[in-house]
Amino acid sequence: MTLMEFFGCTFIAFGPPIALFIFTIAKDPMRVIVLIASSFFWLIALLISSILWFAVVPLRETLAFGLVFSVLFQELFRFLFYKIMRLANEGLIKVSQQSDNSNITPRDFANTHIMAYVSGLGFGLMSGAFSLINVLADLWGPGSIGIHGDSKYFFWSSSYLTLCFILLHTMWGVIFFAGMDRKCYFYVAYVVATHMLVSCLTLLNQLSSSTDSAIYLGPLIPAYIILVVSGIFAFYTAGGSLANIKNCVTCRKRRYQIE
């Protein structure tokens, strides 16, 4: 029973992000490098957050303390990664031009939204891996969910919440980079505020009981509402519009009619 739920929770949390990686990043070596680099920056943010949590002994048992500073450090390192990407932009263009076997064109780096998307997905994948890996480890092996009175909603809600955070980090990356490029700091404030809000909503899970599914739905529903809003925000930030969607749909219809 637990083994089946292990694979189910894994596919829920990491299925869509891995699909994004395979179809949009895996074929381009420089994008893979940017993804790994952004994941490394998230790890550094986690390390510093852990050091602070370990150093402040009186607040070590207070989960909210570590959560707030973790969010702040993540956004700080997103900013640092943005700065490094902009400083390295010219060098990346030259490397892509000199590589005969690369499928990347300089346009990939001139289009800041592409690199913002890749770095956001790197942040999200690493965040998701660290938030869910211990939960998935508990699912491996024989047993029945909730047999000792624990909540049967914990595992699937953790998976959906992890998926939400991975996709949110992807959207936040696009919005954050666009805000810094355009000097529109409302975008940056939106990213920090929504990141803090969704993260603090997860504290509600501490109140859950084995029979109370409403508490688990409490963080999920507003988190996915923010995900939809952030997705629309990122879409328009990257230059998308209803006209683009309409043109895309009509072009596909015409292509199928020709074939």
In angstroms, the CA 155 to CA 252 distance is 40
155-201: pLDDT as tens digits? 888 899 999 999 999 999 999 999 998 899 999 999 999 999 999 98
The predicted pLDDT at position 78 comes to 95
Q: Which two tokens stand for residue 132?
A: 């869910």
Please tell me the total number of residues recorded for the chain in this structure: 259
pLDDT digits (tens, 9 = 90+) for 23-42: 999 988 888 989 999 999 99
Q: CA 106 → CA 94, 95, 149, distances in Å?
A: 8, 9, 57
pLDDT score recorded for residue 214: 59
Q: What is the pLDDT of residue 70?
A: 92
Q: What region, left, alpha or beta, does residue 250 occupy, with left being phi > 0 and alpha being psi -120 to 50 degrees? A: alpha
Q: Go through 142-157 and write b for each residue having 16 or more CB atoms within 10 A of its CB, e for each that does not.
A: eeebeeeeebbbbbbb
3-state secondary structure string, 106-166?
A: CHHHHCHHHHHHHHHHHHHHHHHHHHHHHHHHHHCCCCCCCCCCCCCCHHHHHHHHHHHHH
What is residue 146's three-state secondary structure? coil
Quick count: other Cβ atoms within 10 Å of Cβ 135?
A: 16
Which residues are within 8 A (CB) of 110 and not within 5 positions of it... i.e. 6 or more apart? 93
Domain boundaries, the chain: 1-250
**Residue 83 corresponds to which amino acid?**
K
Q: What is the distance, to the nearest Å, from the Cα of residue 128 to the centroid of all Cα atoms in its chain?
A: 7
Q: Is 234 exposed, middle or buried (0-12, 13-18, 19+ CB in 10 A)?
A: buried
Q: Across the 259 residues of the chain, what is the mean pLDDT of every consecutive 10-residue run?
A: 79 93 90 92 93 80 84 95 84 59 49 86 94 80 61 82 95 94 92 94 68 68 94 89 73 51
The whole-model pTM stands at 0.85
CB-based burial of residue 123 (10 Å sphere; 0-12 exposed, 13-18 middle, 19+ buried)?
Answer: buried
Cα separation, 254 vs 27, whole angstroms: 28
Contact 42, 128 (CB under 8 A): no
